[in-house]
């Protein structure tokens, strides 16, 4: 499932990029909110309790500014400080 990739982080000149905001809950409103934020140039980490929903959202709506997270700890660790999230 993870195929050895560091999820949600891009290697850039030896440093790991973190996301600006996290969105928890990817039903209709959450996924649209994440895409809207990403369209406005922010880097967004998305999380859903059911991990297949994260995969489905990323597959159906690929976006260069959206990355999937598969645990709350991974979401928290991937956000820049001060951390911002919406539910």
Number of Cβ within a 10 Å radius of residue 9? 17
Instruction: Please list, residue by residue across 39-73, b when 16 or more beta carbons sit within 10 angstroms of its beta carbon and e when fewer do.
Output: eeeebbbbbbeeeebbeebbeeeeeebbbbbbeee
pLDDT of residue 63: 96
Q: State pTM to two decimals.
A: 0.79
pLDDT in tens, 19-66: 999 999 999 999 999 999 999 999 999 999 999 999 999 999 999 999
Number of H helices, E strands in the chain: 3, 6
Is residue 87 pLDDT above 50, yes or no? yes
């Amino acid at each position: 499932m993870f195929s050895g990739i560091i999820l949600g982080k891009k290697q850039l000149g030896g440093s790991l990029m973190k996301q600006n905001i996290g969105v928890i809950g990817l039903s209709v409103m959450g996924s649209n909110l994440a895409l809207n934020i990403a369209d406005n140039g922010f880097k967004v980490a998305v999380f859903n309790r059911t991990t297949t929903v994260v995969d489905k959202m990323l597959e159906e709506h690929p976006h260069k500014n959206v990355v999937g997270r598969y645990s709350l700890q991974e979401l928290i660790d991937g956000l820049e400080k001060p951390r911002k999230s919406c539910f």
